[in-house]
Amino acid sequence: MASAKSTSSASLPPPSLDIETLRERILTGGSGAANPRGTLTKVAGRFAEFARSLSDDGGGASSSSAAEALRTELSLHELEVRKLVMSARASDRNSARYDAALSRTEGSLASVQADIEALTGALARERRTKRNREEYDALARMGNDAHPPVRETRAELERVEAEIEAVRGDVRRARNELLVREKQMRAFLQCLGDLRASLGEEELRREVAGEGGAAAGDGGGKEEETVGGYFVN
């Protein structure tokens, strides 16, 4: 409705104002009087004066002066009306600009709110990642304190494997040496058996030889006993 009123008022031709009317408007503009020039109250007062002048002198000089004052007041009122129309149109333009600015501001606020929510989510994720990283570092330190690093474990394993291989070599050498000793012991026992057999045969020959000599001695004694009649020791 305001737009239609503005359009209809804008289609009105500008009022024709004389120099006196403009001077009166300039002099009375912003004066702060109770009934400033150009208001309906002032127009009604001028019309009442014009009506009284008509009834008093019946169209004389006072009537002409009152009519001129009424025309001036009407022109001032028309000027005030057009001023109000222009103010309304300016207000409409300002309102449209303010609405557009408000829409842009609301859009900016929505975008900022979305950015804030995104940044809040990113901050929460970063904090969670930092907390997880700190927990992982703490667990890694605990693991390193409880267990040696992999490179140290690998070096220790290689050292133990080298020691095991050295022990295996010692075992192989000991087994070979034991086999040699076993062969030597078997040869020694065989030689010892042969020696015992040789010594047994020698002792047997000696015993046989000794028994033969004793038998010969016993025969001679008996002969002496027989011959002499005495026992010979």
Kindly tell me if the per-residue pLDDT of 9 is higher than 70.
Answer: no
CB atoms under 10 Å from CB of 161, counted, come to 10
Q: 61-146 and 19-28 are packed helices; what angle lies between their axes, rounded to 10 degrees? A: 50
Token couple for 186? 């078997």
pLDDT digits (tens, 9 = 90+) for 76-99: 888 888 888 888 888 888 888 989
The whole-angstrom separation of Cα 198 and Cα 195 is: 5
Determine phi and psi for 232, rounding to 5 degrees. -105, 120
Task: Indicate the length of the chain as a whole number.
Answer: 233
Angle at 35 between CA 2 and CA 8, to 5 degrees: 20
Give percent of the chain with pLDDT exceeding 70: 71
The pLDDT, as a whole number, for residue 133 is 92
Kindly list the domain boundaries of the chain, sorted by start residue: 2-102
Which value, to the nearest 10 degrees, does the dihedral of the CA atoms of residues 152, 156, 159, 164 take?
-160
Question: What is d(CA 42, CA 51) in angstroms, rounded to the nearest whole number?
Answer: 14
- Neighbouring C-beta atoms of residue 9, cutoff 10 Å: 15
Is there a contact between 60 and 114 (Cβ–Cβ < 8 Å)?
no
Spatial separation of the C-alpha atoms in residues 152 and 158, rounded to whole Å: 10
According to DSSP, residue 148 is labeled -
**100-109: per-residue pLDDT in tens?**
998 999 989 9
What integer pLDDT is reported at residue 48 of this predicted model? 83
pLDDT digits (tens, 9 = 90+) for 17-66: 555 555 555 555 544 444 566 677 877 888 888 788 777 766 567 777 87
* Cα–Cα distance list, 55 to 62, 78, 137 (Å): 11, 27, 109
